[in-house]
Amino acid sequence: MTFKKCSIGGKLYGYVMDQNGNEIQDINKLEAIQLDEQDQEFIWYDKTLLDAIRHNDEDVNQFFTSLSLCHTVMAEEKNGKIIYQAQSPDENALVSASRSFGYAFQNRTQNSITIRIKDKEETYRLLNILDFNNERQRMSVIVEKDNQIFLYCKGSDTKIKERLANAQTNIVNQTDEHLYKFANDSLRTLCLAWKQIDRSEYDPWAAKLSVVSTTMEQRDEKVVEMYEQIETNLKLLGATAVEDKLQDGVPECIQRLAQAGIKMWLLTGDKIETAYNIGLSSRLLTNEMEIKMIEENSEELVAAKLEEIRNSMINKIEQLFYVDIDDRNKRLDWKTWGIDVLKLDQFRKPSHYENNSTASMKSIQFSIENSPIYNNEQDREPFQGFAILITGQALIYALSENLKMKFLELGTMCKAVVCCRVTPIQKAQVVELVMQHEKKTTLAIGDGANDISMIQKAHIGIGISGQEGQQAALASDFSFGQFRYLERLLLIHGRLSYDLNDYYSLKKPYL
């Protein structure tokens, strides 16, 4: 992962503009800026951020101070150079970028953190680390320097904005615009915030936290409640944007698996815009798909949206295949109608049904390759099926007892489903929903600790070992180093295993 862009105090950095104020698209032709202690993969072109650092801009100073303090990275010296060891590549990218801009994390002890700002060392007393987890979607550190106490927090934009003090409308709106721009560039984003804490506020809170931390009953819940109490009235610093490139061969692998009739759902913690662009770049989604968005935040609204999407799908089916679906309450199912849309990129209406608008679905035949759609003698764009994008908040209600079967029905009608901003528990719940009601073999693949729950829940769990560590690999049935190896595992070894089992089953009765 590589630090690419940032938003600080409502100002956008990382995009290079020409004399007319227009963004220069092909920045690779420009000369990169050489920074101190610059990592080999880190390249920076925007001089305006360096100017702000040189002029000691207060917002920029607090932003990079936060990056150099708010993390769990460990530093060790090798051959005279400090090497960072991080639990996640995101943290490593952010701390390394901070060092490149002159705010270098040096070392930590149990009670202190030392950073170097423009060749001047500063040591902060480390009072508390408020741990990250997938429910909180943020972490904080509380530090003390010169008898002043500071809290620095980083996390998802939705969680950070919930903790902000009032009267920050301008910077919040500007940062939201920048976050949207980052997401459209397929960059992974985090927001940063901070506040200064009075001693009179901190001491009672710390004493209560110490008591709660030693209780035997519901300790974790009580500790999180204490975190919530102190992480309030924050001041927004800005946002980071990190590039997480797809591994080699991922789009081709996904395309071939889809051609083999395997349905793929993407379950990610990224923003919906980021997930959408990743879906396009990985070929899970295409511009020819009819993509439905579910972003509602109540059970009633989600239920209404699911019904709206269902009716829209039925109308599309009737329009494309010249049929009338009389019983709209009947479960939607392509195979009931004899339609295998997974293997179709283009199709047409058979000529002998041109005048029969009520032909049954089962009787319609399709041409799989090089066949345009015709409707009332007019050519139409190729239809590549449906796709759903749903947020984690909406998924809470979609997985409820009242709505889960309707959500599953629509999901199985789609060529792809993308669930965004989801927690590890939600990932496992989605896998379980398909397992229980579809009677299909499920496979879950992931590379991080937050994928373990779904890897263990699925019939087949696959862990990718790499930058995210070995936790997913250790919890899986199979593990390898590249996503693209999944194609060979399924289409070659999987097919061979299936054939051997079939042969064994046929031969055994005769032995």
DSSP state letter for 408: H
**Residues in the annotated binding site for Mg(2+):** 447, 451
Partners of residue 103 on adjacent β-strands: 117
**Residues in the annotated binding site for ATP:** 91, 132, 154, 188, 268-270, 421, 427, 450-451
Query: By three-state DSSP, how is residue 200 classified?
Result: helix
Enter the tokens of residue 283. Answer: 């070929």
CA distance 157 to 176: 9
Partners of residue 304 on adjacent β-strands: none
Query: By three-state DSSP, how is residue 400 classified?
Result: coil
User: Which ranges in 350-474 belong to alpha helices (H)?
Assistant: 392-398, 404-413, 424-438, 452-457, 471-474
CA–CA distance from 321 to each of 63, 177, 228, 370 (Å)? Answer: 56, 41, 54, 17
Enter the tokens of residue 182. Answer: 């980052």
Torsion (CA) 81, 84, 89, 90 in degrees, nearest 10: -100
CA distance 101 to 95: 10
3-state secondary structure 139-163: EEEEEEECCEEEEEEEECHHHHHHC
- Residues 224/209, Cβ–Cβ less than 8 Å: no
Phi, psi of 106 (to 5 degrees): -100, -55
CA–CA distance from 424 to each of 154, 264, 276, 486 (Å)? Answer: 19, 18, 19, 22
CA–CA distance from 65 to each of 4, 115, 121 (Å)? Answer: 18, 8, 12
